[in-house]
Amino acid sequence: MNYAYIRVSTDKQTVQNQRLAIKEYAKYHRIRNLIWFSETISGTKKPDKRKLGELLNTVKSGDVIVITELSRLGRSMMMILDVLQLLLEKGVKVIAIKEGYELGDNIQSKVLAFAFGLSAELERSLLSERTKLGLERARKQGKHIGRRKGQKPSHYKLTGKCAYIKRERLSGRSKLSLAKELNVTWITLDKFMKRYKIN
């Protein structure tokens, strides 16, 4: 069986680019009848907490998994290596398009898997370090980062719902019922009502 695995970290990202890349690769290399596994979840989550875990339990010897890049399997080098090791033991072939890499049961594949995993981890570490240095540099230049101490946010979860809340309360609606509908706690709703003097 042939499988395709897609993952993005947030719902602000799109799976379409990954899907298109995999479709084009599969067409060119004549990989047919792909079974798709797609999810929106952080790569820091363990595979068994993701659809990836379901895929790992499904595949058998001789199967193929196509991904756009190794980092789709996880955020850390060890996690990626653990997944690849499991697939190696099962006799499953992994194709990572971006790296131009096919994982098979040979020493070269194992070495490359380690190198790619290490590279991905180093890249993330360097990005994190650059971000920290940039924030520190901005602070030294006197720039303020984030909300000022004591400053209240300008936008709340219930912002824009004042009129609706007033209308519902005037009709006799309970705070608990409103809170459930608006997907907030009773306390959050109560504080919001007090802030905007809604009875």
**What DSSP letter does each residue of 74-139 carry, written as one string?**
-SSHHHHHHHHHHHHHHT-EEEETTTTEEE-SSHHHHHHHHHHHHHHHHHHHHHHHHHHHHHHHHH
CA dist 13 → 8, 9, 25, 57, 198 (Å): 6, 7, 21, 27, 38
Q: What is the mean pLDDT of residues 114-129?
A: 74
Q: What is the mean pLDDT of residues 76-97?
A: 87
Residue 113: pLDDT band by 50, 70, 90 thresholds?
low
pLDDT, position 89: 81
Share of the chain above pLDDT 70, in %: 90
Residue 154: pLDDT band by 50, 70, 90 thresholds?
low
pLDDT exceeds cutoff 70 at 9: yes
pLDDT exceeds cutoff 90 at 10: no
Contact call for residues 105 and 93 (beta carbons, < 8 A) = no
pLDDT, position 167: 86
**Thinking of the domain 2-126, which architecture would CATH place it in?**
3-Layer(aba) Sandwich (3.40)
Among candidate residues 9, 125, 174, 177, the one labeled active-site is: 9
Share of the chain above pLDDT 90, in %: 31
> Is 9 considered catalytic here?
yes
Alpha-carbon distance 141 to 130, whole Å?
16
Could you report the per-residue pLDDT of 12-47, keeping only the tens digit for each? 677 888 999 999 999 999 999 999 999 999 888 989
Higher-confidence residue of 157 and 192: namely: 192
Structural tokens at position 157: 């979860």
Domains of the chain, residue spans: 2-126, 149-199
Q: What is the mean pLDDT of residues 60-66?
A: 95
